[in-house]
Amino acid sequence: MERQISRRGFIRGATTTTMAAAVVPRTLAATNETLPRRAGADAGWTFSRGDFPGAEQQGFDDSRWRKLDIPYDWSIEGPYDENAPCGGSGGYLPTGIGWYRKKIALANSIEGKRVRLEFDGVYQRSKVWVNGHLLGERPYGYITFGYDLTPFLVPGGENLVAVRVDNSLQPNSRWYSGSGIYRHVWMITTDPVHIAPAGICVRTSEVSERSAMVEVTTRVLNETAKTVSCRVEATIRDQRGTAIGTVFVRGRVPANNHRLFVQRVPVSNPSLWCTETPALYTASSTLRAQDGSVDSESTTFGIHDIRFDADQGFLLNAKRVKLNGVCLHHDGGSVGAAVPLGIWERRFELLKEMGCNAIRCSHNPPAPEFLDLCDRRGFLVMAEAYDEWRYGKAQTPQYGYHRYFDEWGLRDAADMIDRDRNHPCIVIWSAGNEVPDQTAPDGPQTLQKLLNLFHAKDPTRLVTVACDNIAAEPKATPEAFLKKLDVVGYNYVDRWRDRREKYYSIDRHSHPHRKFIGTESPAMGGVRGAYGSEALPVFGEPVGNMRIELEQLEKFIQVYDYVSGDFMWTGIDYLGESRWPNKLAISGVIDTCGFPKDGYYFYQSLWTKKPVLHIFPHWNWRGHEGEVMSVMCYTNCDKVELFLNGKSYGTKGLEFPREGMEGHWPNYPARARVLQTTADLHLAWDVPYEPGTLKAVGAIGGRTGPIIEVTTTGAPMAIRLTCDRDGISRGWDNVALVKAEIIDASGMIVPTAEHEITFAVDGVGKISGVDSGRPDSHESYQSNVRKAFRGLALVLLQSNGSSGIMTLTAAAQGLSPADLTVLVT
């Protein structure tokens, strides 16, 4: 393994200057010249799959290579192959080796500056050269890293950056990883004395509704041969951009070294960051050095108090909050691992509407903009580092991360913490997921090394590990491992023996001071719109059994305060971890298109206070007339009456949580006096099938609540297109998600329709992906043709770089076509 050659910016032996000075009522004006020039370097690359010795050299001929912009994931383009080296873990898609090259012209004015190239993520085993000089390599595909290009650049000339990406050692992941430079790339230009990469750390303390203390630590690098005197000014701005406090401090930074400047700024009447109102502040550090160097950098942060308590669970700003969470992998369905932010924006909207307030980043650091969005949307995040430490897993016995952990494990974790520590959304770190080390003799020692790092880098947050062998047979996670954890993470708490009924209570009794969190449990997933014999088992269990299991588990989690919360596996379907012919996992409550499944409404009925009433299955069962069918209902109404073609099949009700008497005997709350026909968290009726209309009428507090109908549709007649937004902006991260529905003459979606739809776009846009959510479809995501699945399909539109109008058309044999216009600004 070659080591990183360019190590500028990682200098040990720092000096620290702390300042808790009086607040300065003004801020220094920062001109454009004082700011570090951070520019996107996504455009203008050439690419080719395969290995090309000498491709790092200036004279190499890449004229026949593909011209593209990044982020770019070459694996998602396919084709699918049952014998692909990555297997089902990688979704049966291609991997291999690929090369990228980019020519950069630099002006003479760059002389005397420092230039750094930063990659948000490259999967995997990347090597980077500039002008033929190897800068270093990075095996972990999910970490942000960068190199100092300065010693090898030619000011006023053309410079070549070359990147070799090697994802050929397979299988190396238990889920779809994608391949290539799949996240953004940045070029950062600074003076020789400057703020270090990820050099601002913000911590809040003494937090209340009346005041808070903000501590800003700025790491200044001096990449000159002389000691330099500096002035560092820290300014705090509120959500409106108004400066509410400024502190400055002076100090000397030794030659070829760095210094930490620590400043404390009080804030009065802070707007506290929480899930409902995620208020964000900005901390800016401005540097002025004796040699004329000027730099300025900013970071957003939130003011909040986070705590895990052995009795009360998780507390946010001194209020108990149940973590109603989902696990998410990093892919975006049809776009693979290179995910425009617009996709996550829509997915987060759906999760919020479901009542989800927490996300576990499974099982790796996400893209930086993912966490930025979590900050803005008020999600509570478990940020996870690894799926493996020193020992591999059955799916990755040779080439998983364990191959690199001894050399890179602490460094990758440190870089993750440095990059992400200012995000208010992160409330807990996870050092690993289901690591075999938890039962290995040296597991506690490995864990302790990681804990020492996490605690030193970030003393404000606790650390967990997602343990799947607690009480396992024949070999369980030992107490020597578990007792080291700040919070004990349980994967599948009910997996063994009587824990199927007792859950956490066994360990609560034996370890009353332990802090508990459910790091992973099954979700109410399955194939969207599949019922009866079509419904595939999830985690090897029949759908009916899984429903009972999850309802019982959810009751326990919600009732017992000491359980901080739980993260279901998963919120959204993801590529990989599948068996042929399937190419994706169906564990989510939302499919890869962003279409909710029935299970979505189960959680919505528990996690939200808005009235929820959802019945299923669909009512198109031609040829099954007279057969008795179970009509299921997820609701938080007090009671529901079901009708078929005007005939009542009875009123049923449930109450959760059930409430006892109040004040005096026998005074029960109003809801405790309503009809209760089940202790389950769903309602069900047995109904002989006949075509027509199912009608469910909910009642809340003695009044009629929501009413929904499910009707037998007519024959498919037309396509209907709807977009999640009226328009988009130019830029790679902006996406319009267009839903294609196959409808009958009355405008109802036909749930059995699977017509092949051809899409075309005119104007200033392009199709960046098509999908239907079907697990066993081997159609190309990059095609303009897609078979609908259960009456639905999805098209992703992006700008081609210009402003104006783009028009999408959709056509299928035997159906009336449709078109839709999207404005690009």
d(CA 594, CA 350): 8
Instruction: Yes or no: say if 771 and 785 are a contact pair by the CB < 8 Å rule.
Output: no
Instruction: Yes or no: say if 432 and 405 are a contact pair by the CB < 8 Å rule.
Output: no
Q: Kindly state the helix (H) or strand (E) to which residue 447 belongs, with its residue range.
A: helix 443-457
Instruction: Return the C-alpha torsion angle 233, 239, 241, 247, nearest 10.
Output: -20
- 335, amino acid identity: V
Closest-CA residue to 481 (of 494, 497, 468, 492): 468
User: Largest Cα–Cα distance of the chain, in whole Å?
Assistant: 90
Range list of β-strands (E), 227-368 = 228-237, 243-253, 257-268, 281-289, 294-301, 306-309, 313-316, 319-320, 323-328, 358-361
Instruction: Yes or no: say if 488 and 482 are a contact pair by the CB < 8 Å rule.
Output: yes
| Burial classification of residue 231, based on how many CB atoms lie within 10 Å of its CB (0-12 exposed, 13-18 middle, 19 or more buried) | middle
- 449, amino acid identity: K
Instruction: Yes or no: say if 128 and 162 are a contact pair by the CB < 8 Å rule.
Output: yes
d(CA 505, CA 489): 14
| Residues with active-site annotation | 434, 520
Q: Residue 57 half-sphere exposure, CB side, CA atoms within 13 Å?
A: 6
* Residue 159 main-chain phi, psi, to 5 deg: -120, 145
DSSP-assigned letter for residue 372: H
Local structure of 148: helix, strand or coil: strand
Instruction: Yes or no: say if 308 and 462 are a contact pair by the CB < 8 Å rule.
Output: yes
- 3-class SS string, 668-711: CCHHHHCCCCCCCCCEEEEEECCCCEEEEEEEECCEEEEEEEEE
Q: Which two tokens stand for residue 694?
A: 């199912």
Number of Cβ within a 10 Å radius of residue 610: 10
Q: Which two tokens stand for residue 770?
A: 């098509």
Instruction: Return the C-alpha torsion angle 475, 479, 485, 490, nearest 10.
Output: 40
Beta-bridge mates of residue 164? 99, 127
